[in-house]
Amino acid sequence: MASFRINFQAQTTGDHYIGYRTYNDPPNTYTVLTVNITGAVPQLAHVDIPVPGNLYCAYDDIVYTGYLIAACQPQTDGNSDGIPDLAIQWTVTMAEQTDPCIRTQILCEAVGIASITISNLPLNTTAPDDNYDLVITTADPADTVLDATVQVGVVDGAITGDPTVISPGLYKTSNLIVQLPLALNPVAPDPLFVVTMEDCPPIDLIDYICTAHTELSGDTIYDLALGEDLNLCADTTTLSGLPVGYLATPGDNCHCVSCENVHLKISGTGFITVSYQRCWDDDTSPIQLITRQVNAPGSLDLGCIVEDTLYIDETNLTGGGSVLHPHFPCP
């Protein structure tokens, strides 16, 4: 819990009253703290005022108003505003603090070509023996980030082998339009191309999380397929280190999102790997990344988590799936 300090110079010994209103208290209602002054006066004194919650969510700033008065002074409130008439009044504005944990979507936006095969080889052609570049395009030119180079070879008037990927390129879609170059036309029969795309390069979540990691079991390294994403309470200063093909979109402060108690039930055989980030106890506790390997069939109470940071890898699960049962609110 955050706090701020009111410093004052006491002119008399004995009790001094410091009243304050939080930003959500009813009008004219003040919480009063007492500081007892002993020894020689005047003397410097202070009182710490608690700030409930955290300052990562003070979107419009948090304004505190209050007063200070010695107990030996008249406490008359002639204005009925909750403040003694002779009190010294003060105002403190608490500005929003920079959250080190930003909820971030990490998307596998673009990938290269893993392979292209021709399902109806051989293809006959009158073109000279040589290697030829395939013509690869996309319906929307914006989906081509980097052109690939893929070649087919002609030997003795025929294409008898699959194309060779020289450089995979980078594409935001798997619906590629593949054609033979004009130099190879005509060929018979018409080629039937089958395109297989790569996954995005593997990423280690530990490289991007904003705080601690507790590895109970499982792995923190993930391979995302084209269009697949995960959410992470991330340190945004690390996101420039994401491999080519990923798109990071920062969103809200993680300390300001709602949390849920989630129970996970798994059917089938094998196991799943899950990662998620625990909720914080207060604004000073960490948002821990947890990784777990869970055998199937089985169940697991994940506790109180930032729900959209839950990522489930079912690669090693057969004949089943995982079902979430959120419970509100978190304890």
- Six-digit token pair at 80? 């009925």
169 shares its domain with 220: no
Instruction: Label residue 132 by pLDDT band (50, 70, 90).
Output: very high
The predicted pLDDT at position 62 comes to 84
Helix (H) or strand (E) holding 75: none
Which residues have CB under 8 Å from 182's CB, separation 6+? none
262 shares its domain with 298: yes
Which residues have CB under 8 Å from 147's CB, separation 6+? 136, 169
**Residues spanned by the domain of 322:** 102-107+201-327
Higher pLDDT, 125 or 211: 125
Which residues have CB under 8 Å from 87's CB, separation 6+? 17, 19, 67, 68, 69
Instruction: Please report, for the domain that includes residue 11, its CATH number.
Output: 2.60.40
Give domain status of residue 41, yes or no. Answer: yes
The predicted pLDDT at position 157 comes to 94
The predicted pLDDT at position 240 comes to 96
224 shares its domain with 187: no
* Number of domains observed in the structure of the chain: 3
Give domain status of residue 112, yes or no. Answer: no
- Six-digit token pair at 289? 């990344």
Parallel, antiparallel, or unpaired: how do β-strands 14-21 and 260-277 relate? Answer: unpaired
Give domain status of residue 113, yes or no. Answer: no
Is residue 163 predicted with pLDDT exceeding 60?
yes
Instruction: Label residue 137 by pLDDT band (50, 70, 90).
Output: very high
Parallel, antiparallel, or unpaired: how do β-strands 31-37 and 14-21 relate? Answer: antiparallel
Mean pLDDT of 145-161: 97
The predicted pLDDT at position 300 comes to 85
Task: Name the percent of the chain in helix, strand, coil, to the closest 5.
Answer: 5, 50, 40
Burial of 23 (0-12, 13-18, 19+ CB in 10 A): middle
302 shares its domain with 222: yes
Mean pLDDT of 186-194: 95
Higher pLDDT, 150 or 263: 150
Instruction: Identify the weakest region by mean pLDDT among 43-57, 80-94, 110-124, 178-192.
Output: 43-57
The predicted pLDDT at position 24 comes to 78
The closest of 73, 71, 3, 76 to 34, measured between CA atoms, is 71
Cα–Cα distance, 87 to 19 (Å, whole number): 10
259 shares its domain with 184: no
The closest of 47, 35, 4 to 22, measured between CA atoms, is 4
Where a domain ends, among 191, 211, 230? 191
Instruction: Label residue 287 by pLDDT band (50, 70, 90).
Output: confident
Q: Give buried/exposed letters for 58-83 (b at 16+ CB in 10 A, else e).
A: beeebebbbbbbbeeeeeeeeeeebb
Helix (H) or strand (E) holding 199: none
Radius of gyration of the chain (CA): 32
210 shares its domain with 296: yes
Q: What is the dihedral of CA 217, 218, 220, 223, to 10 degrees?
A: 180
Mean pLDDT of 122-140: 96
Give domain status of residue 115, yes or no. Answer: no
Where a domain ends, among 191, 221, 237? 191
Is residue 283 predicted with pLDDT exceeding 70?
no
Mean pLDDT of 236-246: 96
The predicted pLDDT at position 147 comes to 98
205 shares its domain with 142: no
Backbone angles phi, psi at 220, to 5 degrees: -105, 5
pLDDT-above-90 percentage for the chain: 65
159 shares its domain with 207: no
Burial of 98 (0-12, 13-18, 19+ CB in 10 A): exposed
The predicted pLDDT at position 328 comes to 67
Instruction: Label residue 202 by pLDDT band (50, 70, 90).
Output: very high
Task: State the average pLDDT for the chain.
Answer: 91
Per-residue pLDDT tens for 74-101?
A: 999 999 999 999 999 999 988 888 888 9
184 shares its domain with 219: no
Residue 328 is classified by DSSP as S
The closest of 238, 198, 44 to 114, measured between CA atoms, is 198
Give CA separation, 82 vs 15, 92, 270, in Å: 19, 18, 66
